[in-house]
Structure 1
Amino acid sequence: MLGRKKAVKELIKKAVAVKDHLAQFPDFHKYERNGIFVYLESRHGNQLPLPTRKYIQNLLKLNMEGPYGPEWPSEEKVKRREMVAQEARYIFVRQSSNAFSAKNIMKQDSGLECTHEACNDDCLIGFVHYRFVLEEDVPVLYVYELQLEPSAQGKGLGKFLMELIELIAYKSQMGAVMLTVQKANDLAMAFYKKLRYVISSTSPSQVDPLIGLEKNYEILCKTFESEAKSILEEGGWKLTVQ
């Protein structure tokens, strides 16, 4: 058991050490469908410039103040701290025009910073914030945020980003992708259900129905292998607790 725990921690450490996960998947460097043309870039949470941090705060408020309701002011403070953590990883979505060549679009400095002159923060239209963590001793990629501008929603871009996230998780030998969704966010719940995410056995509603009634969120997951499925979907972790 000690050997397994050490191996799992090494997987997390190895995944965190990768400088740019996006670079491993060239087919996901850009998205051109349904009337939008965007390209993606990677960054680390502790390397975000001030305009990008402000953009993240504004988009989070726009999309999440409603679902969180009266809890938003306190939750917003938490998200601001999470946003710039060293372990935070980002995929940013930037809008471009068809005039840019694919070569220029993917021009990057050290794999993290886009150097094209059009790559400024006012052309951002969304982002994914994710981390590599342990959940019940299972290595997982946890999606902290998937946020898109309202004008970019409903055009397949969210699905495209989640497909990329799942590939990053699988490539990094994570057992699952996990995320938290507000119960009041019906559109998000329907979106993830369509992508075959299920309520995790670690979600409050599954751990204790009474506690679940008090909580305004559910934890969802999609597992990639049998052990992760047993623990995160079927509640195998409860046996060790008991």
Structure 2
Amino acid sequence: MPIDAKKLVKKASQLMKPVEKFQCESPRNTTTEGETITFDYAWATHLNDDDFEWVFALFKKNMMEMYQKSQWGYDENSKRNELRATTSRFIIAVNSKGEKIGYLTYRFVVDHNIPVTYCWELQISPSYQNKGVGGMMLNTLERLSEKAGMSKVMATVFLYNSPSLGFFHKNGFSEDVTCPSEDSGLDYAILSKATP
């Protein structure tokens, strides 16, 4: 019997605090340097203006140049709306001094008739990159995906963003069946990892 993808996604999308409900936070919470990181969880629509501006500033710092050279181009209003979408949720990483250092935004969606958790953005402050913070948030997302009954976790990555491609591959992601072929002329890859 096929999974009713729409029902599963609707049910998951209605959960008020999914990470807390399923108690699926990553067991890892220290950086490679031993600093303890804590996490906050929020709907995009519940972020206050200051938090949202921090989110957007980090996105811009890390990604604006990549978007400018992409086939999509950089459209600030469109990206703001995307990050503030009612279906978007955030995992926000906070360092031991109480400063926000990164975030992951995700949505539960139906992709090619399959219920999936889509990692929309994963941005880490430059001073905290390569210290395990992104891996902790991704691990939480994978655990959440399993508990919510989603088939896989997906992400879209620019082909010229080698640090990001390396990060996802290191965390067990590979090209999804929906990934454009190399001769498609497109400048991004669609990656996924099946939930256990």
The separation in 2 between residues aligned to 1:216 and 1:77, in whole angstroms, is 22
Instruction: For residue 73 of structure 1, report the CA deviation from its aligned partner.
Output: 5.8
Do the aligned partners of residues 65 and 174 (structure 1) sit closer, same or farther apart at CA in structure 2, a change above 3 Å counting? same
The match for 2:59 is 60
Matches within 5 A, 1:37-116: 37-71=36-70, 74-97=74-97
Moved over 6 A (4+): none
* 1:220 and 2:164 matched: no
Residues 157, 189 of structure 2: 8 Å contact kept:
yes
Letter in 1 for 2:17: D
Do the aligned partners of residues 35 and 52 (structure 1) sit closer, same or farther apart at CA in structure 2, a change above 3 Å counting? same
Bigger fraction of residues in helix: 1
Deviations 1:12-56 (A, max 9, x none): 111111111221326548822324322101100111111111111
The separation in 1 between residues aligned to 2:24 and 2:111, in whole angstroms, is 29
Instruction: For residue 80 of structure 1, report the CA deviation from its aligned partner.
Output: 0.7
Residues 24, 143 of structure 2: 8 Å contact kept:
no
Percent identity, aligned pairs only? 30
Secondary structure (helix, strand or coil) at the match of 1:31 reads: coil
The match for 2:128 is 152
- TM-score, scaled relative to structure 1: 0.73
* 1:13 and 2:32 matched: no
The separation in 1 between residues aligned to 2:68 and 2:34, in whole angstroms, is 33
Residues 30, 40 of structure 1: 8 Å contact kept:
no
The separation in 2 between residues aligned to 1:63 and 1:196, in whole angstroms, is 23
Secondary structure (helix, strand or coil) at the match of 2:37 reads: strand
- The equivalent position to 1:25 in structure 2, one of 23, 39, 57, is 23
Name the Cα RMSD after superposition: 2.1
The separation in 2 between residues aligned to 1:38 and 1:46, in whole angstroms, is 24
- TM-score, scaled relative to structure 2: 0.89
Residues 25, 140 of structure 2: 8 Å contact kept:
no
Residues 30, 39 of structure 1: 8 Å contact kept:
no
Deviations 1:189-225 (A, max 9, x none): 11111112111121222xxx44x22x21111011237
Instruction: For residue 10 of structure 1, report the CA deviation from its aligned partner.
Output: 1.4
Ranked by relative contact order (alpha carbons within 8 Å, sequence separation 6 or more), the top structure is 2
**Greater displacement, 73-82 / 139-148:** 73-82
Do the aligned partners of residues 145 and 162 (structure 1) sit closer, same or farther apart at CA in structure 2, a change above 3 Å counting? same
Residues 109, 117 of structure 2: 8 Å contact kept:
yes
